[in-house]
A and B are shown apart, each in its own frame.
Chain A
Amino acid sequence: METYKLTVNGQPKEVTVNSGTPLLWVLREELKMTGTKYGCGIAACGACTVHLAGVATRSCVVPVSLIGDRPIVTIEGIGQDPVGRLVQDAWVSEDVVQCGYCQSGQIMGAVALLKSTPKPTDANIEESMGGNICRCGTYPRIRQAIKTASRQLK
């Protein structure tokens, strides 16, 4: 067991865990932040997506020991970011969610996309969101919400 200092949503956190523990389980079980979801554990579904130094990252395959001083932003904190808030609002106004379980990851992916590509094409959306599974199949509305948020970006 080792102690790691992390910055999560701007807050300093300290956890003492096995060095191989994935960030996902540090968030969920040590920090009790359950907005980040477990879906597959092999980076194949995107439900666990967080931002690591601004990069959309599958937290289920990143051991805590590799994080270093990179700041972590999760779904619980993304609303403090203007783009994040815009995307969340677009998700609500477009009534995107169904079961909602994948949507933390979808939203984190969409925010990263819009930050790098404020006016994404359908191809950009498919490329960037192409690893996130929504089993309900809300994809048409996810596209719509990304475009809605994009239009509102200043």
Chain B
Amino acid sequence: MTAAISTANDLLLGRRSFIRASATVAGGMLISLYLDLPLTAQEAGQAKPQTYPPDAFVHINPDGKIIIQVNRLEFGQGVHTSLPMILADEMDADWSHVVAELAPAADVYRDPVYGIQMVGGSGSIAHSFQQYRELGAKTRAMLIAAAADQWKVRANECRTEASVVRGPGGRSATYADLADAAAHMTVPETVPLKNSGDFRLVGKKTRRLDSRPKCNGSLKFGLDLDLPGMKVALVAHPPTFGASPKSVDDKEARSIPGVADIFEIPTVSKGTAVTVVADKFWTAKQARDLLKIEWDFTGVERADSQQLWTKYKELARTPGNVAVASGDDKAMGGIPATNRIVAEYEFPYLAHSPMEPLNTTIRFDGDRAEVWAGSQFQTFDQAAVAEVLALKPDQVTFHTEMAGGGFGRRAVPDSHVQREAAAIAKRFAGTPVKLVWTREDDVQGGYYRPMHVHRVEIGIGADGLPFAWHHVIVGQSITAGTPFTPMTIKNGVDETAVEGTADTHYEIPNFHVSAHHPTVNVPVLWWRSVGHTHNAFVMETLIDELAARAKVDPIAYRRKLLKADAKKLRGALDVMEAKSAAWRTKLSKGHAVGFACHESFGTGVACAVDVSIENKRPKIHRVTVAVDPGLAVNPLTVESQFQAGVAFGVSQLMAKGAITLKDGRVEQRNFDGYTPPYITDAPVAVDVHIVPSAEKPTGCGEPPVPVISPAVVNALSQLTGKRYRTLPLVSV
């Protein structure tokens, strides 16, 4: 049925599937991983030009529908719309004919920079912009070639618009008519791309393709999957990571009609869990609640937040492994104590808590398996399932399911959910089994943003600007023990822990940043904007404090301190200042304005917030955000990401916005104890202004998050006279 452009679908099967580092770009997750390139080319530093078969990305149906494959997960960030926009624009496809699909796991869908199929580091548009442009342009060239061939005219006599090729003499043919013939045309090696002035979709506010099915209940998320004969599995995880059952009494649980089996499975934390497999979720849930398990904690470290704070604060008093040492290490000595600030910050563990609880469905068929999962790391998750089932990755068909949020939680290097699901499915060959993590499993299940202590000593120069800055960061390494280690850990410093400080855009003449990475028995993970979550808070609250101390306007102070090349931040500050001026000059009584600016993932952001105190909590009335993301592919997505992303960032301030452990057990269970922002906590209105730019696009998923919490507490500081250095914000 699919006429399609079906050239040989060289999915490059059988290639090696592990990561090799080739090049590293400074700054957290901006890491270049290259896979599968011949060693010699890699060592020569030459990335092999990648070619992608257009037919793996575009199918033109006889009815005119143009189906575009999205090479990564959609979980809210909007790539399911913006990547097809890029391809459709270069292809001159009629946008109303475009249908987007999430691609399964396959080598051809790997991120062109990271070298694995993934979403992270706000890299979707940044990395696939050029790729999708070329794919669209090549497809268009093949359609034109087919038309020219039929009409016996030259290709350059033809033009395209809205899924139609037009040639001399008024001839025209639709893409659907040409698709069969185009499929037999040679894929051009290189194609000219449009001038930006010729874009019809890119740069235009374009509504999401997935809105309607998400508004009428018809869109199926991974959790909604229902396959014939499917069973549902729940897992009783040990209350402390790495523990195992001493005894399991499952007699009552087994008496529930519909329970298929109860058995032990290994956990990634080297412990053992107990799984209940039943006909339905509700059956499995009832049965799991009836399990009587006595746990064995022998040899298992019982992490405890209070003890960790004490230990971390102690560590913070001595320098750790050096991330940056510029200027004179002794410069602090020349600053009198009265001109120094010593600040200690505390940041707790944070859970991502995507609204769709984690889940994965697997059917194991002996020599093959099929997986359905909303995964940010298809390459790793597919390989993990294969390993557990003693298969090769190419024996595992991996469907990418729409996911209800993620924020990093579905980008797990150890694939622990998929490993559990595979271990369970292995016992039910031929039967699909859906593993569901309940909300409790999620809140208590680890893989948190690590807790951190920052200790900063600042020596202020006579000009009121920081002259010496000693900064110690204490927190677990997110990437230690993962395949990312060679790229992210240097000199014992995990870049994802110091990003936003070590690479600050402020000019500080004598700057020393170091880090300690204690090992703690709590799995940790990247949480939307990763290290910037805590580093931006520390930097932007301290800069605000310095400005106040110097009695300088906080925007002017930032401008003075920013490095000359911090163009994106300067531009964002200018736009933010101008766009917020009207409301800032007529603040209501009891309100204050707070500012912050921060660059992450290549995107510069500045914001102003209007805050008052209501019911002893910050009430955020208004936020003005200016953002420089390079070329904004879909300005509507950029606006939405920032409006909502700042609300996500408010998570850090919630009174119940912390995961804590006591004697090895997580103290929160569900949203009653660990509470994300509700509508009342989020900003009432957020106006987003995009700095005009023709530079290459950078990410917008994570950069909204870092600025909001420092901006809010900077406003609070003016209202209360206090400085806020401990998160969450238990009291104002």
Which residues of A pack against B, CB within 8 Å?
A: 1, 18, 21-22, 25, 28-29, 32-42, 44-45, 47, 74-76, 79, 88, 91-93, 95-104, 107, 122, 125-126, 129-143
Contacts and interface: CB of A to CB of B under 8 A. Distances in A.
Contact of B355 (A36, A74, A92, A135): A135
A75 B217 contact: yes
Contacts of B204: none
5 contacts: A41-B438, A97-B215, A100-B404, A140-B682, A140-B683
A137 B647 CA distance: 5
Interface in B333-376: 353-357
Given A95-B636, A135-B355, A136-B76, A44 B682 contact: no
A62 B221 CA distance: 23
Contacts of A99: 75-76, 354-356, 403-406
B355 A133 contact: yes
Given A134-B355, A134-B647, 20 more contacts: A28-B224, A35-B216, A35-B217, A36-B217, A37-B221, A38-B281, A42-B671, A79-B216, A88-B215, A92-B211, A98-B77, A98-B78, A99-B406, A100-B404, A104-B217, A125-B679, A133-B671, A135-B355, A137-B682, A138-B643
B416 interface: no
Interface in B641-655: 641, 643-648, 650
A129 B671 CA distance: 16
Contacts of A97: 208, 210-211, 214-215
Nearest to B225: A34
B677 interface: yes
A133 B678 contact: yes
B224 A136 contact: no
A76 B300 CA distance: 48
A-B complex: 4 closest residue pairs judged by Cβ atoms: A35-B217, A101-B404, A137-B647, A100-B214
A146 B145 CA distance: 50
B356 A126 contact: no
A143 B679 contact: yes
A67 to B, nearest CB: 16
Contacts of A134: 355, 644, 647, 679
Contacts of A102: 355, 404
B445 interface: no
B226 A45 contact: no
A136 B217 contact: no
Contacts of B211: 91-92, 95-97, 100
B75 A103 contact: no
Given A97-B215, A140-B644, A126 B355 contact: no
Contacts of B77: 98
A121 B329 CA distance: 57
Contacts of A139: 644, 647, 677, 679, 682-683
A23 to B, nearest CB: 11
A29 B215 contact: no
A138 B644 contact: yes
Nearest to A75: B217
B218 A35 contact: yes
Contacts of B682: 137, 139-140
Nearest to A34: B224
A18 B208 CA distance: 41
B647 A29 contact: no
A37 B356 contact: yes
Nearest to B218: A35
Contact of A40 (B286, B354, B439): B439
A75 B216 contact: yes
B302 interface: no
A62 to B, nearest CB: 13
Contact of B679 (A79, A136, A142): A142
A94 to B, nearest CB: 9
Interface of B: 75-78, 207-208, 210-212, 214-221, 223-224, 226, 257, 280-282, 286, 353-357, 402-407, 438-440, 636, 640-641, 643-648, 650, 670-672, 675-680, 682-686
A135 B75 CA distance: 11
A99 B280 CA distance: 25
Nearest to B217: A35
Contacts of B648: 135-137
B224 A135 contact: no
Contacts of B683: 139-140
Of A99, A101, A130, most B-chain CB atoms within 10 Å: A99
B85 to A, nearest CB: 14
A92 to B, nearest CB: 5
A93 B440 CA distance: 35
B231 to A, nearest CB: 12
A39 B357 contact: yes
Given A42-B672, A132-B678, A139-B647, A100 B76 contact: yes
A140 B640 CA distance: 9
A130 B281 CA distance: 28
Contacts of A130: 678-680
A104 B280 CA distance: 22
B361 to A, nearest CB: 13
B34 to A, nearest CB: 30
A97 B648 CA distance: 14
Nearest to B256: A18
B356 A137 contact: no
B226 A137 contact: no
Of A125, A133, A134, most B-chain CB atoms within 10 Å: A134
Nearest to B704: A137
A103 B221 CA distance: 13
Given A92-B212, A99-B404, A133-B678, A40 B282 contact: no
Contacts of B226: 32, 34
A4 B644 CA distance: 41
A34 B357 CA distance: 14
Contacts of A122: 684
Given A41-B438, A44-B670, A88-B216, A98 B644 contact: yes
A130 B675 CA distance: 13
Contacts of B636: 95
A39 B644 contact: no
A101 B216 contact: no
Nearest to B406: A99
Contact of A100 (B207, B210, B406, B676): B210
Nearest to A29: B280
Nearest to A87: B215
Contacts of B646: 137
B80 to A, nearest CB: 11
A42 B217 contact: no
A99 to B, nearest CB: 3
A136 B214 CA distance: 14
Nearest to B77: A98
Given A92-B215, A95-B636, A141 B680 contact: no
Contacts of B685: 140, 143
B223 A38 contact: yes
Contact of A107 (B215, B257, B281): B215
Nearest to A32: B226
Contacts of A100: 76, 210-211, 214-215, 219, 402, 404
A122 B680 CA distance: 10
A82 to B, nearest CB: 15
A99 B406 CA distance: 9
Contacts of A44: 670-672, 675
Given A76-B216, A143-B684, A39 B439 contact: yes
